[in-house]
Amino acid sequence: MDNFIVSARKFRPATFHQVVGQESITSTLQNAIKNNQLAQAFLFTGPRGVGKTTCARILAKTINCENLTEEIEPCDTCESCTSFNNNASFNIHELDAASNNSVDDIRHLVEQVRIPPQVGKYKVYIIDEVHMLSQAAFNAFLKTLEEPPAYAKFILATTEKHKIIPTILSRCQIFDFKRIRVEDIANYLDYIAGKQSIETEIEALHIIAQKADGALRDALSTFDQIVSYSGNTVTYKNVIQNLNILDYEYYFKVTDYLIGNEIPDLLLIYNDIIENGFDGQHFVVGLSEHLRSLLLLKNPATIELMHASGILKEKYIQQANKCSVNFLLKALLVCNNYDLSYKGSSNKRLHIEIAMLELSGITNEGEFKETSIITNKEVPKPEPEKEKKVYIPPKEPKIVSEKTTRPIAKQEDLTSEKKNKKVKLQVVSKDAGNGRTIKNISIKDSLEAAKKKTEEVSELPEIIIKNEFSQEKLVETWKSFIANYVEKTPSFANGIAKYDPILKENFEIEYKVDSPIIPKDILSVTSLLEFLKNELNNNQITLKAITPEKNEQKTAYTDREKFAQMTKKYPEVQKLKDQLNLEIDF
């Protein structure tokens, strides 16, 4: 039995011309070879499966070819090309940085760089997944990468460019590989199918290309999987069954029901989708993609972003003509919101059904038809109540003068007299009958009345609360404040904690501190006073701080002060510290 080779390896491009979807990069590399302007280091970066390693191998093979073609392609006949095709080239070395990421591996590579090539012009080192190198390995590689021998070329490949240190990036020519277009992938799959005599449907290849998300290697792996499932005939039905993809016919029907507001049909078709084993979130995501495709077809400038075969695109165009842009935009927003909140829903089926009800309410092109369960006939809708006519007063207020009732004819008259006149508004209010009453409201009088009321409230005297409390109760409350305040301001809490407060006459509280700085902490003193007033239920409490005199000995309460006093009393402690060269952390 012959060994099976997957399509990604069997049909790997061997020349720049065969590379799919990266024309700008391949043409740049060919021009660099033609003009003899090759850099010493290249960095190929981009998503998986787009041809980074393939282009690195083709570049290494091409620059060592002894007989380049006119199209700057390898000849495949010289000694260098033959040895490369047989995986026996001594000039081209590949290193997988994911498994060889230590500094010793890079040092071994640097030692190999010193040996010049025996056959060919260049020694090429391809380092795949270079972002996996350790920090020490990167640093060991810097000097060699910046100033390599003339015969050495480095090609680095990575999917995560942001993980590479800037000093490496600055030493390389960077090529950003892009995702491959759906059309290019579908055409290449058709080419592969023709090489293997496999019959395909264009819709099936488009589904595989869309599922690959721009990665040609993923598309080829999926293609091999479908061929193993269906044999030498790849149909649209086989693809959606094998990949568990919801048929686009469902989305066309759902969109028609949404436009027509056919709620019973919506619920029935969603029940059919659930019974076929599809997930509700999977359905919402697919419906969002379908609505996006319809929106793209509403403008000629965005039609090229729509990925579908010719026959299917015509069907999309027909349905897009039935939908308004406003409906599609609102429907996409609703689908996105329900997609985000799907995982947090307890009743997931009801969650999607509510989403469809909300989607059907966007358009008024149809209405939900209610039928009687007994007679199975349409229930007539009640006629809407006639709106009662209500008199609406004029919106614009009339301006009148307090001193005169004559109409104001000119703007100049209003400007010259506005300082001596009050402006009033005529407010029309309805009474019980059909008549109306006119009431004059002076804006100036209203503002003055509000200001006067505010001043009266502010002038109200504070209620005096004189609740008696004992010295013991004061000390207990004092310690409670210290315990709560020590985490917020430790210096203040520790400063008032050394001595108990003393209750004096008229609820004056004296407290002793060792430093005059402590009472100057206005914020903390205010917090202490408010705490005492609230806890002791007495708003007549005052605080008086007793600070030490200048000649009074200060009591040590910090570690630094305690050590200073200790050295004064015991000078040997200072000598011991100096002899042992100790550092004391205060």
Q: Which residues contact 20 (CB under 8 A, 6 or more apart)?
A: 13, 51, 180, 184, 185, 188, 216
Considering the domain boundaries, does residue 64 fall inside one? yes
Pure H helices in 341-442: 348-360, 411-417
Assess contact for 421 and 402: CB atoms under 8 A.
Answer: yes
Considering the domain boundaries, does residue 532 fall inside one? yes
169 in the same domain as 92: yes
Stretch 90-114: mean pLDDT: 87
Residue 421: the pLDDT is: 43
Residue 555: the pLDDT is: 57
What's the Cα-to-Cα distance from 182 to each of 54, 203, 221, 300, 323, rounded to whole Å?
A: 20, 12, 15, 19, 26
Percent of the chain with pLDDT over 70: 79
Burial class (CB in 10 A: 0-12, 13-18, 19+), 257: buried
Stretch 242-255: mean pLDDT: 83
55 in the same domain as 26: yes
Burial class (CB in 10 A: 0-12, 13-18, 19+), 483: exposed
Stretch 453-479: mean pLDDT: 75
Q: How far apart are CA 133 and CA 96, in angstroms?
A: 10
Q: Which two tokens stand for residue 133?
A: 């190198």
Query: Who has greater pLDDT, 34 or 405?
Result: 34
163 in the same domain as 47: yes
Q: How far apart are CA 408 and CA 368, in angstroms?
A: 58
Considering the domain boundaries, does residue 464 fall inside one? no
Across the chain, mean pLDDT equals 79
Most distant CA atoms of the chain, gap in Å: 114
Work out the pLDDT band at 263, boundaries 50, 70, 90.
confident
The dihedral through the CA atoms of 303, 308, 313, 317 has a sign that is negative
Q: Is the pLDDT of residue 207 over 80?
A: yes
Q: Is 359 helix (H, G, I), strand (E, B) or coil?
A: helix
Q: Which of 124-133, 135-144, 373-382, 456-465 has the lowest mean pLDDT?
A: 373-382
319 in the same domain as 256: yes
Considering the domain boundaries, does residue 201 fall inside one? yes
Stretch 42-63: mean pLDDT: 91
Considering the domain boundaries, does residue 283 fall inside one? yes
Q: Is the pLDDT of residue 476 over 60?
A: yes
H or E element at residue 92: strand 92-96
22 in the same domain as 108: yes
Last residue of a domain, one of 304, 336, 360: 360
User: What's the total number of domains in the chain?
Assistant: 5
The b-or-e profile of 524-553 (16+ CB within 10 A means b, else e) is bbebbeebbbebbebbebebeeeeeeeeee
Percent of the chain with pLDDT over 90: 9
Residue 443: the pLDDT is: 59
Residue 415: the pLDDT is: 44
Considering the domain boundaries, does residue 202 fall inside one? yes
Assess contact for 64 and 120: CB atoms under 8 A.
Answer: yes
Domain encompassing residue 504: 471-546
Considering the domain boundaries, does residue 224 fall inside one? yes
Q: Which of 212-216, 325-329, 413-417, 541-545 has the lowest mean pLDDT?
A: 413-417
31 in the same domain as 152: yes
Residue 8: the pLDDT is: 85
53 in the same domain as 197: no
273 in the same domain as 231: no
Stretch 535-543: mean pLDDT: 88
Q: Is the pLDDT of residue 420 over 60?
A: no
Stretch 418-437: mean pLDDT: 45
39 in the same domain as 163: yes
Stretch 212-218: mean pLDDT: 87
Q: Is the pLDDT of residue 492 over 70?
A: yes
Q: Which residues contact 252 (CB under 8 A, 6 or more apart)?
A: 290, 315, 319
451 in the same domain as 509: no
Stretch 284-293: mean pLDDT: 89
Work out the pLDDT band at 368, boundaries 50, 70, 90.
very low
Q: How far apart are CA 357 and CA 497, in angstroms?
A: 68
User: pLDDT tens, 428-446?
Assistant: 444 444 444 444 555 566 6
Residue 310: the pLDDT is: 66
Of residues 557, 480, 479, the one with CA closest to residue 513: 557
156 in the same domain as 28: yes
Report strand pairing: 424-430 vs 399-400.
antiparallel
H or E element at residue 233: strand 233-234
Considering the domain boundaries, does residue 288 fall inside one? yes
User: pLDDT tens, 62-74?
Assistant: 998 888 888 888 8
CA 289 to chain centre: 21
Work out the pLDDT band at 79, boundaries 50, 70, 90.
confident
Q: Which two tokens stand for residue 579?
A: 């002899």
430 in the same domain as 293: no
Q: How far apart are CA 222 and CA 410, in angstroms?
A: 83
Stretch 288-292: mean pLDDT: 90
CATH number reported for the structural domain that contains residue 502 in this entry: 3.30.300.180
CATH number reported for the structural domain that contains residue 205 in this entry: 1.10.8.60
Query: Who has greater pLDDT, 155 or 428?
Result: 155
CATH number reported for the structural domain that contains residue 318 in this entry: 1.20.272.10
User: pLDDT tens, 373-410?
Assistant: 333 444 454 455 444 444 455 554 444 444 444 444 44
